[in-house]
C-alpha cells in the first residue's frame, strides 16, 4: 500500500490517500466539502479536473475514455501518484448536457 498526497488547488486543502482507497473516502473522513451523490461513477457530481498526477478509475462509467484522462470522479478514482485536483470542474460532456437542458438563450427568445 502506497500513500499519495492529494492537493485541492485554490483551497489549501491536502489529504493523504492510499492507492487502495478512493479519493472521496478520506475527503469525507477529513471533513473536506467534496461534492458527491451516487458514489458509483455515474452522476459526475464529484468530478475534479486533474491538474497534475495520475489516477486509476476503471469503474468511472460516467466519463468517456478521453475525459477520464483529464478528469477524476473522486468516488471512483484511486491515486497512482501525488495529485493536484481542481474541484468543481466538469468534463465537456456534462457542460454540453447542462446547456442543452437549460433551454439556453435561444429557447428564451422563442417564448416571446
The string of pLDDT tens digits covering residues 2-59 is 999 999 999 999 999 999 999 999 999 999 999 999 999 889 999 999 999 999 998 8
Residue numbers of the domain that contains 16 = 3-87
Give the CATH number, domain containing residue 47. 3.10.20.30
User: Whole-angstrom Cα distance, residue 79 to residue 16?
Assistant: 10
How many domains in the chain?
Answer: 1
User: Whole-angstrom Cα distance, residue 85 to residue 96?
Assistant: 22
Tell me whether residue 80 is in a domain.
Answer: yes
- 95: CB partners within 8 A, 6+ apart: none
- 13: CB partners within 8 A, 6+ apart: 7, 32
| Contact predicate 55/72, CB 8 Å | yes
Please state whether beta strands 83-87 and 3-8 pair in parallel, antiparallel, or not at all (unpaired): parallel
- For 82-95, what is the mean pLDDT? 87
- pLDDT score, position 37: 93
Which of 73, 79, 75 is closest to 55 using CA atoms?
Answer: 79
Is the dihedral angle over the CA atoms 49, 58, 26, 21 positive or is it negative?
Answer: negative
Tell me whether residue 92 is in a domain.
Answer: no
99, pLDDT greater than 80 = no
Tell me whether residue 104 is in a domain.
Answer: no
Amino acid at each position: 500500500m502506497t500513500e499519495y498526497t492529494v492537493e485541492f488547488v485554490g483551497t489549501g486543502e491536502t489529504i493523504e490517500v492510499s492507492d487502495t482507497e478512493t479519493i472521496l473516502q478520506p475527503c469525507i473522513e477529513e471533513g473536506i466539502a467534496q461534492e458527491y451523490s451516487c458514489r458509483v461513477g455515474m452522476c459526475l457530481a464529484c468530478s475534479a479536473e486533474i491538474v497534475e498526477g495520475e489516477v486509476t478509475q476503471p469503474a468511472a462509467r460516467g466519463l468517456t475514455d478521453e475525459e477520464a484522462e483529464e478528469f477524476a470522479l473522486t468516488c471512483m478514482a484511486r491515486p497512482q501518484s501525488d495529485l493536484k485536483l481542481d474541484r468543481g470542474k466538469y468534463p465537456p460532456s456534462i457542460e454540453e448536457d447542462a446547456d442543452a437542458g437549460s433551454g439556453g438563450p435561444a429557447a428564451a427568445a422563442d417564448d416571446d
